[in-house]
Amino acid sequence: MSELLIENHGAVRVLTMNRPEKHNALNTALTQSLLDALLQADADPGVHAVVLTGAGKSFCAGADTSEFSALVPEDPLAVNARADLTTRLHLTFSRMAKPVVAAVRGNALGGGAGLAIACDLAVMADNVRFGYPELKHGIVAAVVMSNLARQLGRKHAFELLSMGEPIDGARALALGLANRVEPAEQVLDAAMEVAAKLASWSPIAMGTTKKLFHRVADLTLEEGLAAGRDANVIMRGFRKAAK
């Protein structure tokens, strides 16, 4: 059984994490498959948007802790390789040109919560369990912390990290971590609707919008305006090329 299912619905590619018996917990194989699939989708001219979801009851319950015992301190190369893989996966979402929509149901915990907000947009179930319970297990929400702090600001981000309690869809929407909240059985359809809308735009314009967005988010106002000015000049060629 493949741990990652890949389906095309027109110009939308659906990636389904497929370890339902483990609530789609991320082992090395699934993490690598996700990274490869995202890069392949970004390189495929027939794909204009991506939906990321999970099979079964949950989106993703985070890292597969049963795999941790194999990454013993006596094998630092394996430990480093796993950490590097996780980091590359989370960075890929913002670096790829194609927009990614998360369809989040059930548990989205730890690394799973990190994946949900790494996506460009998120549709969550009203009864979702979204959070960072790492401290309850004596570990740290390490790789996922940077994106959370950037999206929420210090007070709310630290509350989620330090309290370890999951929040529901309404709270996620209020905090700005979700774009839409739907009943669980409607989440995937709603995410597909959003992705289809994104896929309908010019791929060049959509890709430039996404790349510029992530670039200016980390720049000063002056630097961001300069980057926008350069994109504005390039943009003038989009309409001509489309005719």
Domain ranges of the chain: 4-199, 203-242
Percent of the chain whose predicted confidence (pLDDT) is above 90: 78
Residue 7: active-site member: no
CATH of domain 4-199: 3.90.226.10
**Tokens 């890929």 correspond to what residue?**
92
pLDDT at 77: 75
Summarize pLDDT for 130-172 with one digit per residue, the tens.
999 999 989 999 999 999 999 999 999 999 999 999 999 999 9
Q: What is the DSSP string of 48-92?
A: -EEEEEESTT-SB--B-GGGGGGS-TT-HHHHHHHHHHHHHHHHH
Marked catalytic residue, from 3, 134, 182, 223: 134
Give backbone dihedrals phi and psi of 203, rounded to 5 degrees, phi first: -60, -35
pLDDT at 1: 73
pLDDT at 106: 98
- The model's pTM is 0.92
103: three-class secondary structure by DSSP: strand
- The pLDDT of 35-57, averaged and rounded, is 98
Summarize pLDDT for 50-97 with one digit per residue, the tens.
999 999 999 999 988 777 666 565 666 777 888 899 999 999 999 999
